[in-house]
Structure 1
């Protein structure tokens, strides 16, 4: 093998996909309840997406950020309006890790501090500062460990204030619903208290919406349920429906200057077209409403399974927690029933992150498979 062998691979080879289904080289159909790590938001090969990407690449696919790009400007306004994040400004990049890296860097530029507070079971990416803020020692290299990060128990405002009181924390970064960690979410009281402490101690409050953003929870962003106004919002995953794109939304109190941030590929013409199409389809097909409706059906079906210890998450960012490791169950669902699902850091949680176009009938197929295997 000439590939650097860092991924444990299932013996499945998808060659095409349509909406909520992927098909392998033998034309076997698989129901996709994982969306390639929550990436597929408007369904595989959506016709409007395919048409717009094809049309754009036939004109111009890329040029650098050294020239005017009206597509970027139009997207920034559309995103701010649609998300409800009034007066925020957009910086585009290429991935969730890069979004968080830029968010942390910008926070440090803004208040001239250097330390980061993150939370237990949080995941923010694999780049330098982002991985140091991730609660997984196995993926933090000695080089990354030079970053000064304090990992605090989710929900512990007292510990947060004790750390902030030293006046060296540039940013507090939090997922309002933890993704890789296992779909834990704390209370509105906690998140609002966290924001208040950040304001009190001149620390930037970063909402990591890389996995939960773009309508997945039924709100455009997960933090909106709690009535928050973050200083920086990071996003990626479902933003481009498979096109590699990320970005941060920046509160107007943080001022820009030339050279402060930069990227070669971020915000290119194809990326802007992908994101604009995702926004259009989410609105036109009312996919946030669909996320809420299908989620309610999921919760109802979950009550039929006595083996389910807990249902976690909201919208179409969901998890089923059992009192046993789910690795074998997940493999059986994949190979016996041809349904993709996800795992988490919590070995007892099976994650469901389907395209937002999913229907109740697809959820029924999943629970029928679960019943058969359990």
Structure 2
């Protein structure tokens, strides 16, 4: 049977990983500045993470949500304390797309409305409703098309109010930092403006923190650079450090009833063990603070590179936009310098390393990146 390739494949077969490094089957070591789409939060194969999951599997790996699973409450307690949202409710699922689907469903149930506002260059997943509100026509099949998805210009509060005034909008969903769209931080006052308008018109505000959350921005959630308190917050990626887990945080004033949301695999023993281990490591090793410090250092250094048109982001969520297509840069970094990076479109490199990235590893990247750019571009 032939495998379906999700992406065009690089000719690399990783077989081992530790911390911020990955080894292939030829013995080459790579510095990982992409973390598998921002998934690796506490580093590859962290001993505490591996031990926690192994011990849990030796006890019990799975049972359904028809019984009490104490690890779910332990995860909820730790997440609430570390994020500052301990008065919220936690619904556990398996992925970011599921988290967003359930957020929109919940908003529609509670408001009795059908429409959802999202934004240009936003990405919210590949399931039915999530893909309908994602600004990428290439991945929206005819079955996903709906008049209930309103994709508006990012940072445009007037455009939002023009739709909210109809009293037909159940939810406004926005990323704490736009990831796949190219690392775009919301303009000052935009999230606060959305919160004000949503309250005025009875619409729920959903913060999609699937990529920007879990310490990546230098705060636990990227929106915490503002005073906003969303109705719903969606989580995944770094939440499990590679083990599939997602979550939906629900404002205490919202009261879902039994049967409104459901899941088979969400909140299983192994997923919770992974999630608990991640939070314990983040707290013990002060990884949110590390993301802020190392990220600020990286962005300051990269801003001096004349070949880069713009450096954007917060913490260890960094976008590097070039005037020219970046495919040669990314390929040379990978093949010659053994560094994994990500991409947005054709002109933006994305850096989403594990939150354990050290200053020394940041310097390793800067030195090799400067070498690649000097070889490919004439300095201005």
Q: Give the TM-score taking structure 2 as reference length.
A: 0.96
Q: C-alpha separation between the residues in 2 aligned to 1:228 and 1:111?
A: 20
Superposed counterparts of 1:100-249, under 5 Å:
100-146=100-146, 148-249=148-249
What do the CA deviations read for 1:107-158 (whole angstroms, capped 9, x no partner)? 1011010001000000000001100010000000111113611111111111
Q: Which residue of 2 aligns with 1:351?
A: 350
Q: C-alpha separation between the residues in 1 aligned to 2:103 and 2:160?
A: 19
Q: Which residue of 1 aligns with 2:371?
A: 372
Shift of 1:310: 1.1
Q: Secondary structure at the match of 1:343?
A: strand
Aligned-residue Cα RMSD (Å) equals: 1.0
Q: C-alpha separation between the residues in 1 aligned to 2:322 and 2:208?
A: 27
Q: Which residue of 1 aligns with 2:362?
A: 363
Q: Secondary structure at the match of 2:142?
A: coil
What do the CA deviations read for 1:26-67 (whole angstroms, capped 9, x no partner)? 111011000000000000000000101000000001111010
Conservation of the 8 A alpha-carbon contact between 2:303 and 2:310: no
Tell me whether 302-311 or 162-171 shows the greater mean CA deviation: 302-311
Conservation of the 8 A alpha-carbon contact between 2:176 and 2:221: no
Q: Which residue of 1 aligns with 2:25?
A: 25
Shift of 1:253: 1.3
Q: Which residue of 2 aligns with 1:326?
A: 326
Q: C-alpha separation between the residues in 1 aligned to 2:168 and 2:296?
A: 43
Shift of 1:86: 3.5
Tell me whether 5-14 or 273-282 shows the greater mean CA deviation: 5-14
Q: Which residue of 1 aligns with 2:80?
A: 80
Q: C-alpha separation between the residues in 1 aligned to 2:283 and 2:81?
A: 12
Q: Which residue of 1 aligns with 2:300?
A: 300
Conservation of the 8 A alpha-carbon contact between 1:132 and 1:147: no
Q: Which residue of 2 aligns with 1:52?
A: 52
Q: Secondary structure at the match of 1:37?
A: helix
Q: Secondary structure at the match of 1:92?
A: strand
Q: Secondary structure at the match of 1:91?
A: strand
Q: Which residue of 2 aligns with 1:281?
A: 281
Q: C-alpha separation between the residues in 1 aligned to 2:72 and 2:86?
A: 17
Q: Secondary structure at the match of 1:320?
A: strand
Q: C-alpha separation between the residues in 1 aligned to 2:302 and 2:78?
A: 37
Unaligned runs of 5+ residues in structure 1 are: none
Q: C-alpha separation between the residues in 2 aligned to 1:143 and 1:116?
A: 17
Conservation of the 8 A alpha-carbon contact between 2:53 and 2:273: yes
Q: Which residue of 2 aligns with 1:69?
A: 69
Aligned residues: 373
What do the CA deviations read for 1:189-238 (whole angstroms, capped 9, x no partner)? 11101111011111110000000111111100001101110000000000
Conservation of the 8 A alpha-carbon contact between 2:299 and 2:318: no
Conservation of the 8 A alpha-carbon contact between 2:165 and 2:201: yes
What do the CA deviations read for 1:240-298 (whole angstroms, capped 9, x no partner)? 00000001000011102110100000000111111111111001001111111101220
Tell me whether 320-329 or 196-205 shows the greater mean CA deviation: 320-329
